[in-house]
Structure 1
Amino acid sequence: MHILDTERLSLREFTPLDAPFLLRLVNEPGWIRNINDPGVRSVDDALAWAEGRLFTAYRELGHGFWAVVRREDGMLVGMCGLFKRPALPEPDLGYALLAEHEGRGYALEAARGCVAHAKAMLGWQTLMAITALDNPPSIALLGKLGFVEQGQEQLDGYNEPSRVFKLAL
């Protein structure tokens, strides 16, 4: 299902056909270093991960992490979206790109679209975000969006503490 468009990107729900892409994305060195290693090692693992992490959220919450597609050629470049983690008091913004698509402003553009969607379409008043302690690109991106760092927390499901950010919409 289509969610939103930005100047260069379109965000949509992931589908089972995206499992090979998800397998690649969650095994990127940047994903493993800055998010976690979900132990996804096959297309079947990726499909099971997507069911538990993505498809369930679409059905139960009406939002989640969406596929980021380049409009000019339909290439899937990453994910970005809105998710309610049990460990955080408010929904949060998350994003990840394949390394080959980093540095082109796609993450910032997709994130801006998601922030606008959270406010206009979902009526939310606050968003949160988390990063690894040492992730300068994500910290800078959140700053460009107006997020303010709230400190560090050890969140369930993560081996290391996370930097926690908040944005009033």
Structure 2
Amino acid sequence: MTVSPHPAHHVGPLVTARLVLRRVRSGDVAAVTRLWTDPLVRQHLGGPVIESVVRIRQRRIVGAPGFHAVVRAEDGVLVGLVTVEDGARNGETEVSYQFLPEHWGQGYAREAVDAVVARVLEGAPSVVALTQEANHPSRRLLEAVGFEHAESFVEWDARQVLYRRRA
């Protein structure tokens, strides 16, 4: 993954009503590793990441621009990860996200994704997000924060839906 300089990558922590989004720290690596290896989290993302790739990612994620650790403001518990990748799809900025299952259904993902996308749109005309057609919770989240269906296609042996939100 190539993450290039973007205003969303260099501004300090992003604070919402309940969350703080900041760069990944070494203390976050165990929770982030769970995101990469949890079968429920990875159900619509091609399955758990293999061990050798996890080790490479663990060395690269701490402090990396474009990766936003999502922690609860009240207690600092990491609940998820939102990633911003410039030029990922046809030159557009792409936002992706993963949240630990025990934090699903509490609105954290919606709050975090909405905040990150709003920041990205301060410096980009649009942002895209991709999910599997079968991932109905993710599709509802994207639509709830203002993304619109842009196209559908088959990739990685599954029906995919590309969403776009414009500034």
TM-score with structure 2 setting the length: 0.82
**Aligned in 2, Cα 1:86/1:118: closer, same or farther, shift over 3 Å?**
closer
Taking the TM superposition and a 5 Å limit, the aligned residue runs for 1:1-12 are 2-12=12-22
Structure 1 Cα separation of the partners of residues 55 and 13 of structure 2: 21
Shift of 1:168: 0.7
Provide the residue aligned with 1:24 in structure 2.
Answer: 34
Point out where structure 1 has 5 or more consecutive residues left out of the alignment.
59-63
Structure 1 Cα separation of the partners of residues 87 and 97 of structure 2: 14
Provide the residue aligned with 1:61 in structure 2.
Answer: none
Amino acid at match of 2:74: E
Q: Does 1:13 align with 2:15?
A: no
Deviations 1:80-132 (A, max 9, x none): 13213544431112111100000000000001110121123xx1110100011
The range that moved more, 74-83 or 22-31, is 22-31
Any idea what SS the aligned residue of 2:71 has?
strand
Point out where structure 2 has 5 or more consecutive residues left out of the alignment.
1-9
**Aligned in 2, Cα 1:22/1:115: closer, same or farther, shift over 3 Å?**
same
TM-score with structure 1 setting the length: 0.81
Structure ranking higher on relative contact order (CA contacts 8 Å, 6+ apart): 2
Amino acid at match of 1:93: V
Structure 1 Cα separation of the partners of residues 94 and 58 of structure 2: 18
Shift of 1:154: 4.1
Amino acid at match of 2:57: W
Structure 2 Cα separation of the partners of residues 131 and 40 of structure 1: 21
**Aligned in 2, Cα 1:95/1:39: closer, same or farther, shift over 3 Å?**
closer
Count of aligned pairs? 157
Q: 1:119 aligns with which of 121, 140, 146?
A: 121
Structure 2 Cα separation of the partners of residues 86 and 115 of structure 1: 15
Q: Does 1:167 align with 2:165?
A: yes
Higher strand share: 2
Higher helix share: 1
Taking the TM superposition and a 5 Å limit, the aligned residue runs for 1:2-151 are 2-37=12-47, 39-41=49-51, 46-51=54-59, 54=61, 58=65, 64-84=66-86, 86-120=88-122, 123-151=123-151
